[in-house]
Homo-oligomer: A and B are copies of this chain.
Amino acid sequence: MNILKIGGSVLNKLEEFELKADLIVHGGSDYVDALCERLGIEIKKLTSPSGVEFRYTPKEVLEVYLMAVMKANKDIVTHLQSRGINAVGLSGLDFGIVKAKRKRIIKAVIDGKKVVIRDDYSGKIENIDTSTLIELMNLGIPVIAPIAMSETFEPLNVDGDKLAKEIALSLEADELTFLSDTAFLVNGEVVDRIRAEELEEFLPFAEGGMKRKLLMARTALEGGVKKVTIQGLNGRTVIE
């Protein structure tokens, strides 16, 4: 079984990839940013004290996030259906497939100062309803948008890479593939293959989204996934 994560940066380049998957998770950052801009809503990307960048998602941004990622969701479904692949687009809200706990207090570093944020609607994934996912996979390919349901029934922004990894682990998938604009580069060269044992040595060469993908690959491999691929437009990095 292969879980495929489609990154927001390649949503407009889907025809350049072969989309072989049993289940798809996607992002939508570019769509969210574009809609925020059109609506005159400030896009804030914050950095956690541990150096991980995240989207600041107050209520107003959450609504835009939901609309934009569902547009991405339907674009992917339409693309797949046009290729004869029977797909169904869902969010984690549907059937309550993805449950998350709202991060009520988030710490960020702004201009070198630690600040506490309390109005953010991001979630930590807590539960995946695998039995419903399996039922759906019998009907077609589920395409899941990165929105989870909180314990008090609020939609929450969750990271697409993390969601793909969590679903791969829950379904005990063999493969996890990230579609992205670039494969993993070190000194401008694509790293074709990384053995699980040497993954740690490569982490210092990765930044931002790529660092997150390598970290997801590490936990996925530790959890039983056999192969993680970062498929870029410039080549691929296979980690196994």
The interface centre, meaning the residue of A88, A153, A154 with most chain B CB atoms within 10 A of its CB, is A88
A81 CA to B153 CA, complexed, in Å: 7
Chain A positions 159 through 198: 1 when the CB is less than 8 Å from some CB of chain B, otherwise 0: 0000000000000000000000000000000000000000
Is A91 located at the chain interface by the 8 A CB criterion? yes
Decide: A149 and B38 in contact? CB cutoff 8 A: no
Chain A positions 70 through 84: 1 when the CB is less than 8 Å from some CB of chain B, otherwise 0: 110110011001100
Decide: A82 and B140 in contact? CB cutoff 8 A: no
Q: Residue on B with the closest CB to A88?
A: B94
Decide: A67 and B155 in contact? CB cutoff 8 A: no
Decide: B78 and A74 in contact? CB cutoff 8 A: no
Decide: B81 and A87 in contact? CB cutoff 8 A: no
Secondary structure type dominating chain A contacts: helix
Specify how many copies of this chain sit in the oligomer.
Answer: 2
A11 to chain B minimum Cβ distance, whole angstroms, is 14
Q: Residue on B with the closest CB to A131?
A: B139
Decide: B140 and A95 in contact? CB cutoff 8 A: yes
Contacts of A68 in B (CB 8 A): 67
Q: Interface of A with B (CB < 8 Å)?
A: 35, 38-39, 63, 66-68, 70-71, 73-74, 77-78, 81-82, 86-91, 93-96, 132, 135-136, 139-140, 147, 149, 153-155
A85 to chain B minimum Cβ distance, whole angstroms, is 10
Contacts of A147 in B (CB 8 A): 74
Contacts of A153 in B (CB 8 A): 78, 81-82
Decide: B86 and A95 in contact? CB cutoff 8 A: yes
Contacts of A81 in B (CB 8 A): 93, 96, 149, 153
24 residue pairs from A and B, CB less than 8 Å apart: A38-B39, A67-B67, A67-B68, A67-B70, A67-B71, A70-B74, A74-B93, A74-B147, A77-B93, A77-B94, A78-B154, A81-B96, A81-B153, A82-B153, A86-B96, A87-B95, A88-B90, A88-B94, A88-B95, A89-B90, A90-B94, A95-B139, A95-B140, A135-B139
